[in-house]
């Protein structure tokens, strides 16, 4: 019998800690719905005390999701725990997740607490969380750089107070697989009561070892893996959900485990998270990257044509990559469009579908063939991206090699129409400077990139911008057949995210 490994997805919490990856409430709810469809066991919906926005998102997700457990993160103190409970208490299956650091480095430089104090805080925090729910997870931050004796003592205290999941984070991505596997084994041998709880791991990818470490942990007794879609997360990210799940499935011969994940939804989930966060998936990313199933060399292509097994260890269809992405055109009707939206995994209300269909028709007037990627960008831009403080109404740009590039922009700012004109070194520069004037914002542009969503000169351009203001970074994305319009959309999307980010009160 294969044992179950629970998948705890933290895309909406640790994933959102990726530099730039800010999401609003509606976007988070949409991702949570997709994660439920993917069949993850636990969704960590956020860190409720960190901001009003996070609190509201966790609350909304708790009301919406009915199958997966919903976890809210809390530092080990009463205020955090009470706030997290307020946010998750409406969930069908709520979980409180509390944590405190255990390494000497963190105790000395950050917490400024003794080991005895930390044990007391951990115990009291679990006990407080238990007053609200039987489902309590305790994490020892920086566990892999902690003294093992002390780590075991902290875990024993947490279990004594009723923790039901014990999580071992490799917070700084420092461990290597053999060592991490050994740590899990040691904890299982030494901690009293460990057999009563689920052992979990949470690995960061600073040395590119998060997935390998998670697999080593499973082989040594871990039965919950914390991970994110596309491996996004703090710094170099977290264990990638799709990689760990597909490793377990593909190497059934060595790994006697299973997960509840439905892999056919992996690709749509990956695209959705990338679209909403603005975090582009690198082409060579395992399982979901654009090149993950592309065979370039003649020898490989020859082998694949003769027998797929020669160079393919899993099929693109198994993770939901569509066979052909050319779908619709100018003559396609409402019915075909709506069907395709649903096939791509988006569940929209009738009025949102209508709105998306109108945008599709406008696009089809400019562009002969509409691909899945075009449909996704319509859905994400028109529907999921709620208008916030700033909205583009009108843009006219004059540019060329004998004129000073000039932009005239009309925007809605807090519901009021504002118009300005300005010039710059090029059409994009003129547009950005004018938008900056209208919005009176001070962000610095760190990065600007244009990508064609599909092939051909009529393809939509997808622009990604990265902005920085007072140490906060955000990523914005916009798509359009006109790259200057796409640039304006991306810039405004980033400015809206920056506004949202400024409301964050507590960082980790
Ligand atoms: O990396 C980490 O230690 C964390 C904890 C809060 C689980 O994200
Ligand atoms: Zn983490």
239 touches ligand 1 (CB under 6 Å):
no
171 touches ligand 1 (CB under 6 Å):
yes
CA of 203 to the centre of ligand 2 (A): 7
Query: How does DSSP classify residue 204?
Result: B
CA of 234 to the centre of ligand 2 (A): 7
The enclosing H or E element of 355 equals helix 350-366
203 touches ligand 1 (CB under 6 Å):
no
The answer to whether 8 and 44 have CB atoms below 8 angstroms apart is yes
Give, using CA atoms, the residue closest to atom 1 of ligand 1: 171
Look at residue 325 in the predicted model and tell me its pLDDT.
Answer: 59
139 touches ligand 1 (CB under 6 Å):
yes
For ligand 1, what atom is nearest to the CA of residue 169?
A: 3
Look at residue 347 in the predicted model and tell me its pLDDT.
Answer: 76
Look at residue 308 in the predicted model and tell me its pLDDT.
Answer: 85
User: From the CA of 71, which ligand is nearest?
Assistant: 1
Pairing of strands 257-258, 42-46: unpaired
Question: How far is Cα 214 from Cα 187, in angstroms, rounded to an integer?
Answer: 15
User: From the CA of 228, which ligand is nearest?
Assistant: 2
Helix axes 210-219, 177-190, angle to 10 degrees: 40
Mutate which of 125, 171, 203 to test ligand 1's pocket (most atoms within 8 Å of Cβ)?
A: 171
CA of 172 to the centre of ligand 1 (A): 9
Helix axes 266-277, 241-250, angle to 10 degrees: 170
Handedness of CA 202, 205, 207, 209 (dihedral sign): positive
11 touches ligand 1 (CB under 6 Å):
no
Mutate which of 169, 200, 222 to test ligand 1's pocket (most atoms within 8 Å of Cβ)?
A: 169
146 touches ligand 1 (CB under 6 Å):
no
Look at residue 137 in the predicted model and tell me its pLDDT.
Answer: 99
* pLDDT tens track, the chain, 508 positions: 899 999 999 999 999 998 888 888 988 999 999 999 999 999 999 999 999 999 999 999 999 999 999 999 999 999 999 999 999 999 999 999 999 999 999 999 999 999 999 999 999 999 999 999 999 999 999 999 999 999 999 999 999 999 999 999 999 999 999 999 999 999 999 999 999 999 999 999 999 999 999 999 999 999 999 999 999 999 999 999 999 999 999 999 999 999 999 999 999 999 899 988 989 899 899 999 988 888 777 888 788 888 888 888 999 999 998 765 556 888 888 888 888 888 777 778 888 889 899 989 988 888 888 888 888 888 877 766 655 789 999 999 999 888 899 999 999 999 999 999 999 999 999 999 999 999 999 999 999 999 887 767 777 888 999 999 988 888 898 989 899 999 999 999 999 988 877 766 555 5
Look at residue 273 in the predicted model and tell me its pLDDT.
Answer: 93
User: From the CA of 46, which ligand is nearest?
Assistant: 1
Listed residue (359, 391, 392) closest to 460, CA to CA: 359
17 touches ligand 1 (CB under 6 Å):
no
Residue partners of 471: CB distance under 8 A and separation at least 6? none
CA of 85 to the centre of ligand 2 (A): 20
54 touches ligand 1 (CB under 6 Å):
no
Give, using CA atoms, the residue closest to atom 8 of ligand 1: 14
- Alpha helix (H) residue ranges in 1-109: 25-38, 52-64, 78-88, 104-106
User: From the CA of 100, which ligand is nearest?
Assistant: 1
Give, using CA atoms, the residue closest to atom 2 of ligand 1: 171
Question: How far is Cα 35 from Cα 270, in angstroms, rounded to an integer?
Answer: 10
Look at residue 459 in the predicted model and tell me its pLDDT.
Answer: 78
Residue with tokens 């809390």: 74
Look at residue 252 in the predicted model and tell me its pLDDT.
Answer: 96
Q: What is the 3-state secondary structure (H, E, C) of 212-249?
A: HHHHHHHHCCCCEEEEEHHHCCCCCCECEHHHHHHHHH
Mutate which of 16, 71, 99 to test ligand 1's pocket (most atoms within 8 Å of Cβ)?
A: 99
User: From the CA of 106, which ligand is nearest?
Assistant: 1
CA of 247 to the centre of ligand 1 (A): 23
What is the DSSP secondary-structure string of 118-168?
A: HHHHHHHHHHHHHHH-S-EEEEEETGGGS-HHHHHHHHHHHHHTT-SEEEE
CA of 141 to the centre of ligand 1 (A): 6
């Amino acid at each position: 019998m294969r044992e179950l490994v629970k998948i705890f997805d933290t895309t909406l919490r640790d994933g959102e800690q990726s530099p730039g990856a800010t999401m609003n409430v509606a976007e988070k709810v949409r991702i949570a719905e997709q994660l439920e469809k993917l069949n993850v066991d636990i969704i960590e919906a956020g860190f409720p005390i960190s901001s009003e926005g996070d609190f509201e998102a966790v609350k909304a997700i708790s009301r919406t999701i009915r199958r997966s457990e919903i976890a809210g993160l809390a530092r080990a103190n009463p205020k955090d725990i009470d706030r997290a409970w307020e946010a998750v208490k409406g969930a069908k299956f709520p979980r409180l997740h509390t944590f405190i650091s255990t390494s000497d480095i963190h105790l000395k430089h950050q917490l400024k607490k003794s080991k005895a104090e930390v044990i007391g805080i951990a115990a009291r925090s679990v006990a407080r969380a238990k007053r609200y729910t039987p489902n309590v997870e305790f994490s020892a931050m920086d566990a892999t750089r902690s003294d093992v004796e002390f780590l075991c003592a902290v875990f024993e205290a947490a279990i004594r107070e009723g923790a039901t999941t014990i999580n071992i984070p490799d917070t700084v991505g420092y461990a290597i697989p053999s060592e991490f596997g050994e740590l899990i084994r040691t904890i299982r041998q030494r901690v009293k009561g460990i057999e009563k709880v689920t052992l979990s791991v949470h690995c960061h990818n600073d040395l590119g070892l998060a997935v390998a470490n998670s697999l080593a942990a499973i082989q040594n007794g871990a039965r919950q893996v914390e991970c994110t879609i596309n491996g996004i997360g703090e710094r170099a990210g977290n264990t990638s959900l799709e990689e760990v799940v597909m490793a377990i499935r593909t190497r059934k011969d060595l790994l006697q485990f299973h997960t509840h994940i439905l892999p056919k939804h992996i690709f749509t989930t990956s695209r959705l998270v990338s679209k909403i966060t603005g975090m582009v998936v690198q082409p060579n990313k395992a399982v979901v990257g654009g090149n993950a199933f592309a065979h370039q060399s003649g020898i490989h292509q020859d082998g694949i044509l003769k027998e797929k097994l020669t160079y393919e260890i899993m099929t693109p269809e198994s993770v939901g990559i569509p066979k052909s992405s050319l779908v619709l055109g100018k003559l396609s009707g409402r019915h075909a469009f709506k069907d395709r939206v649903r096939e791509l995994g988006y569940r929209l209300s009738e009025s949102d579908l209508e709105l998306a269909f109108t945008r599709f028709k406008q696009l089809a007037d400019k562009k002969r063939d509409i691909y899945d990627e075009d449909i996704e960008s319509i859905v994400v831009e028109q529907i999921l991206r709620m208008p916030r403080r700033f909205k583009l109404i009108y843009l006219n740009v004059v540019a060329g090699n004998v004129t000073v590039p000039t932009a005239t922009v009309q925007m809605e700012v807090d519901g009021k129409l504002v118009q300005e004109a300005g010039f710059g070194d090029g059409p994009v520069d003129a547009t950005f400077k004018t938008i900056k004037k209208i919005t009176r914002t001070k962000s610095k542009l760190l990065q600007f990139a244009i990508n064609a969503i599909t092939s051909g000169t009529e393809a939509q351009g997808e622009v990604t911008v990265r902005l920085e203001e007072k140490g906060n970074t955000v990523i914005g994305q916009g798509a359009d057949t006109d790259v200057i319009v796409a640039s304006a959309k991306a810039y405004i999307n980033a400015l809206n995210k920056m506004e949202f980010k400024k409301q964050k009160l507590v960082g980790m």
